[in-house]
Amino acid sequence: MKNYRLSQWLTVLVVIAIPAFILLPVVRRHKNDERAAICPSNLQILGKALAMYLADNDQAYPPAYSACFGNDRAAHRAAWTSYLDPYVSAKIDGGAGWVISTGWSILENAPGDASKQNVSAASGPWRCPNDADDAVLSYGLNPMVSGAYKQWNCGSEDHEPEWQDSLKTSDVQNPGQIVWGGDTNRYWDPTKNKYTAVFPEWPRKTDLYLRNLTKPQLVEWYRSFLSKDFTDIKDQCSYPLAWGCRAPSYRHDRSVGNPGAAAMLFCDGHVRAVPFGKLSVENIFPDLASVDQNASAPSPVQYPYRIVDLGFAFHAGAVNNDGLVVGGTQGHVFAFQGGKQMDLKRPSIANSATAYAVNSAGEIAGNFASTEASGAGDSDHQYGFIWRGGKYQNLQYPEGYDGFLLRGINRKGQAVGRAYRGSSAAFDGSSRAFLWENGKFRDLGIPTDCISSAAYAINDQGQVVGSAVTRDNHTHAIAWRNGSITDLGTLPGGSLSAAYGINDQGQIVGDSNTGKGDVRGMHPVLWENGKIVDLGLPVNCRSCVASAISNSGLVATLLSDLDGVPMAVGIWDKKNGMRSSTALTPPDSGFLLRDVYSINDKGQCVCRAFYGNDTNRMALLTPVQTYAAQCAANGVRWP
């Protein structure tokens, strides 16, 4: 056998490697091209099914989904796939048995719901090859063409169903330009470290954060929405920020320097790839020409509120009428005013401290924890403090108790909160509402049929509000006024309520449930003139808590979605009713408000926000409208 030298072997390897090096990218590119070609083919198949559906349904487009909640859960959760699947299965696939989940499992993903587990991956025209192998659906619809039906207990006596009608083909004057549907993002489940469910359509005009927009504002919102590529942004697609998944996916031909393209099916039946940045509002709104027909040029959308980044993460917070914002971060008390952050440190014996309230004199009240002060190494001892004149005053806690959770302070320096025994987290028979003034604690007392109480707010007249637990373990809103205790009660038929805010006019806000078969949560309420008023629960909102009220009558609320997840801050007033922060602020702010703690007489709200990867950001929701105008709108005389 002939012996080869090393150099000869290397020559052979080089000769083999060079063609391989040249051919592998070609093969890979060919494979990618092949996969990319299947996606338009899928949409063409769905386009044929759509045409047959239109012919059988008076040329009306199928709804994106129909979803009733509560007792009708199993029967009514169906996506557009359930409308087209009979045409695909019976008339197109020829017995191929292509798999698609036509029910609720493709719509949303709520952890722990057994009805949404073990969902089969889609096949055939329902799944794009460039999507994940276990994708349950790869495509979503244009909501300005498709309809939707979504409500808790659809058709019940208490809640009328919300319906957005689908268009008919005759409503779409330019079908070659208007997208019907196409490649869509999926939900990222951080607990499983993978993409899971998909929403069946992009954001629609009846969504809570879009419903209050005028048509020009909605167009402007979509213009901003389409300018963002959510394809690989997991933090925007993670629970509870899954709205970011409701967007086109530019999954094809993505590479460095190339943002990719999305396969789109247009209303006239043709399919084409649309590169990122080329999908515009002209492709979404069939009636776009009518939006600006009375104006020579579109005017910029004027939003009544803006969001100010306070620059740090925080725990709790409040704002006074001078715009002094207080809170806590990294164990220190922080303040923010006039664009300047101030680290107020913490009491010398404290391990950590947080501010919860601030009065018109700039006195700050809150809590601190200290193992040194407890003498037992017990970090669960909470102490009240007041910061005034650049110094901390330790309020300790009432004798016979293990801690004091301070929650409010008025201009007289009176502070209120809850004293407890044992754990600070327990709200049981050992808790009592206390008022602190002039160096002494005073037990505010409890109603005769209650076993514990807590105070949350105090106005400048010394009136206090909070809650108490009854002997049958129900929480009721309570007011302490002029030496008397009043059970504020609940909405008709309800068993639960709580009061969280009171203004100088004596108006009180909080929440209450009802007893009318309402499977949703708490309603925002206002107590005034001895009556309780339901401020209204938005149609696709499971619960809403009224957290604070200004002297001009503006109420700050927290809105939670149908899964009970905080979704936006709400502002209520007598003229406009409930408005969502997502409709009040520019869509490109980058902030998603997820809690609200305080509102001042200027309408400024201290909020917790999601900002990029930061899920605990401090932000100030600030009105552009003047204080005088707010007062006029709410029938309050301007000082």
- Concatenate the DSSP letters of all residues of 540-581 into one string: T-SEEEEEEE-TT--EEEEEE-TTS-EEEEEEEETTTEEEEH
Q: 53 falls in which pLDDT band (50, 70, 90)? A: very high
For residues 632 and 623, give the distance between their C-alpha atoms in angstroms, rounded to a whole number: 15
Query: Using an 8 Å Cβ cutoff, are 417 and 384 in contact?
Result: yes
Question: What are the tokens at 335?
Answer: 């303040």
pLDDT of residue 52 exceeding 90, the answer is yes
pLDDT at residue 99 in the model = 55
CA separation for the pair 242, 186 (Å, rounded)? 9
Bridge partners, residue 549, by sequence: 555
pLDDT band at 229, cuts 50/70/90?
A: confident
Q: If phi over 0 gives left and psi between -120 and 50 gives alpha, with beta otherwise, what is residue 107?
A: alpha
Q: Tell me: the pLDDT tens digits for 326-341?
A: 999 888 999 998 888 8
Q: Are 318 and 407 in contact (CB under 8 A)?
A: no
- What distance in Å separates the CA atoms of residue 393 and residue 386, rounded to the nearest whole number? 5
Spacing of C-alpha 618 from chain mean position:
15
Contact 179, 284 (CB under 8 A): yes
pLDDT at 592: 82
25 vs 213, higher pLDDT? 213
More confident residue, 362 or 293: 362
Whether 545 has a pLDDT exceeding 60, the answer reads: yes
Q: For residue 462, give both structure tokens.
A: 């010394």
Q: How far apart are CA 215 and CA 202, in angstroms?
A: 17
Give the residues across from 577 on adjacent strands.
Answer: 573
> What SS3 state is found at 592?
strand
pLDDT of residue 137: 82
Query: CA 25, CA 31: separation in Å to the nearest integer?
Result: 10
Q: How confident is the model at residue 172 (pLDDT cuts 50, 70, 90)?
A: very high
Residues linked to residue 366 through DSSP beta bridges, in sequence order: 355, 385
Residue 298 — pLDDT band, cuts 50, 70, 90? very low
Beta bridge partners of 481: 484
**Interatomic CA distance for residues 534 and 520, integer angstroms:** 14
Confidence band (pLDDT; 50, 70, 90) for 81?
Answer: confident
- Give kind and range of the element (H or E) at residue 20: helix 6-56
- Fold of the 305-634 domain: Methylamine Dehydrogenase; Chain H (2.130.10)
Whole-number average pLDDT of the chain:
79
| Burial classification of residue 174, based on how many CB atoms lie within 10 Å of its CB (0-12 exposed, 13-18 middle, 19 or more buried) | middle
User: pLDDT value at position 126?
Assistant: 83
Nearest to 347 by CA among 395, 296, 400, 314: 395
In one letter, which amino acid is 505?
Answer: Q
Helix, strand or coil, per DSSP, at residue 58 = coil
User: Quick check: pTM over 0.85?
Assistant: no
E strand or H helix at 435, and its extent? strand 432-437
Integer angstrom CA distances of residue 133 from 34, 97, 163, 238, 458: 16, 17, 34, 20, 57
Q: Which residue has the higher pLDDT, 257 or 494?
A: 494
Residue 355 main-chain phi, psi, to 5 deg: -95, 135
**For the chain, what are the domain ranges?**
1-102+125-153, 305-634
> Which of 26-40, 79-93, 360-374 reaches the highest mean pLDDT?
360-374
Tokens of 7: 């150099």
440 versus 4: which is more confidently predicted?
440
User: Residue 4 corresponds to which amino acid?
Assistant: Y
| 277 neighbors 285 (Cβ within 8 angstroms) | no
Among 81-90, 284-293, 316-325, where is mean pLDDT lowest? 284-293
Alpha helix segments (H runs only) across 434-562 = none
Partner residues linked to 263 by β-bridges: 273
Close Cβ partners of 473 (under 8 Å, ≥ 6 residues apart)? none
Whole-number Cα distances in Å, 553 to 310, 524, 548, 578, 602: 25, 14, 10, 13, 11
